[in-house]
Amino acid sequence: MGSGEAHVPEALDRAAREYLAHLAVERGLSANTVAAYRRDLARYVAFLAARGNHAVREVEADDVAAYVTALRTGADGGASLSPSSTARSVAAVRGWHRFCAAEGLADGDASADVRPPAQGKRLPKAISTDEVARILDAAGVGDGPGPLRDRALLELVYSTGARITEAVSLDVDDLDLGSGAVRLLGKGGKERVVPVGSFARRALDAYLVRGRAGLAAHGRGTPAVFLNTRGARLSRQSAWAVLRTAAERAGIDRPERISPHTLRHSFATHLLAGGADVRVVQELLGHASVTTTQIYTLVTPDTLREVYAAAHPRALG
């Protein structure tokens, strides 16, 4: 497979080359992707050879598990990889083993039960309530239906924790401002009804009464709540631009980091900080599992210090 691999047994080398040809020809992967697979497999087959394996059918689960450890520690003489790079390399290894099993080059898949090390959880990016307020205020600056729409859109996203796709997919019949609720269609076609706060209700009412008709006049009668200047449904990309423009106008530090998901993350973080139960937040966000929601319960060192200082009898003095 390349220089530095002269001691790799022919059977292992041939199996790797056959898999790479399969990726390039039958699956049509790009040259860059195939090259990345080639680098990953070159390191792996060299590792297998060093452990005394001469063919794929000789490889056992322990060999694959040992390789995962070597990727993280560099014990095989190669570079130690980050969890994300390890996961990518392990994916290449598992794909190769599945291919070899399907092609009869091995009696089974030795990698079937091997997983890369878990990657550390990263806290979702949330912004402060003050920053949210500044963005929402900035979205409504100006005259005409555009600012009314923009304020209503962002107020709704922050008020409900809606994904941006859910927000732009809303039809007028999905809104029940009288009872203060909205019906959202989430992932997998799963519906949920979410309360709408008073600020968002007022912004939506202002847009529907004074702004939407002006936009709809340019279109063909779509039932969408949020319309573009041609009277058609607002796209995700346009909604993203609405938020980015508002963040820049509000003077938010590094506005390029602000995305529609930032408002969703902030919605969840602010609810939990205010004492909401994690299972309630799970329902509001439309998460299938509470495990997904629990990442928002992770606290920062600053929060820990603040709680400790306020609660411990001998923290201050």
Q: How confident is the model over 185-218, as pLDDT tens digits?
A: 988 788 999 999 999 999 999 999 999 999 999 9
pLDDT at 296: 72
DSSP strand pairing (191-195 vs 175-176)? unpaired
pLDDT at 301: 60
In the residue annotation, 270 being an active-site residue is answered as no
What are the extents of the domains in the chain? Answer: 10-102, 129-306
| Common-topology check for domains 10-102 and 129-306 | no
pLDDT at 313: 77
Both structure tokens of 44: 């792996």
Q: pLDDT band at residue 164, thresholds of 50, 70 and 90? A: very high
How many of the other CB atoms lie within 10 Å of CB of 314? 5
Kind plus residue range of the DSSP H or E element containing 272 = helix 260-273
In the residue annotation, 264 being an active-site residue is answered as yes
Give whole-number Cα distances, 181 to 218, 268, 275, 285, in Å: 28, 17, 21, 14
Both structure tokens of 186: 């989430």
Report whether CATH 1.10.443.10 matches the domain 129-306.
yes
Kind plus residue range of the DSSP H or E element containing 194 = strand 191-195
In the residue annotation, 296 being an active-site residue is answered as yes
In the residue annotation, 67 being an active-site residue is answered as no
pLDDT at 147: 97
pLDDT at 303: 63
> With 60 as the cut, is the pLDDT of residue 236 above it?
yes
**Catalytic pick among 19, 67, 207, 296:** 296
If you average pLDDT over each of 57-61, 152-156, 294-298, which comes out highest?
152-156
For residues 190 and 188, give the distance between their C-alpha atoms in angstroms, rounded to a whole number: 5
**Catalytic pick among 134, 149, 151, 264:** 264
Exposed / middle / buried, residue 217 (Cβ in 10 Å: 0-12, 13-18, 19+): exposed
CB 95, CB 64: distance < 8 Å: no
Between 312 and 2, whose confidence is greater? Answer: 312
In the residue annotation, 236 being an active-site residue is answered as no
Fold of 10-102: DNA polymerase; domain 1 (1.10.150)
Region at 207 (left for phi over 0; alpha for psi -120 to 50; beta for the rest): alpha
pLDDT at 312: 76
The pLDDT of 170-175, averaged and rounded, is 97
pLDDT at 123: 56
In the residue annotation, 233 being an active-site residue is answered as no
**Catalytic pick among 163, 201, 233, 270:** 163
66-121 pLDDT tens trace? 999 999 899 889 999 888 889 889 999 999 999 999 999 998 999 988 877 766 55
The pLDDT of 241-257, averaged and rounded, is 93
Q: pLDDT band at residue 44, thresholds of 50, 70 and 90? A: very high
pTM for this structure?
0.61
**Catalytic pick among 125, 187, 257, 305:** 187
pLDDT at 209: 96
Both structure tokens of 317: 């003095």
The sheet carrying 181-185 orders its strands as 175-176, 181-185, 191-195
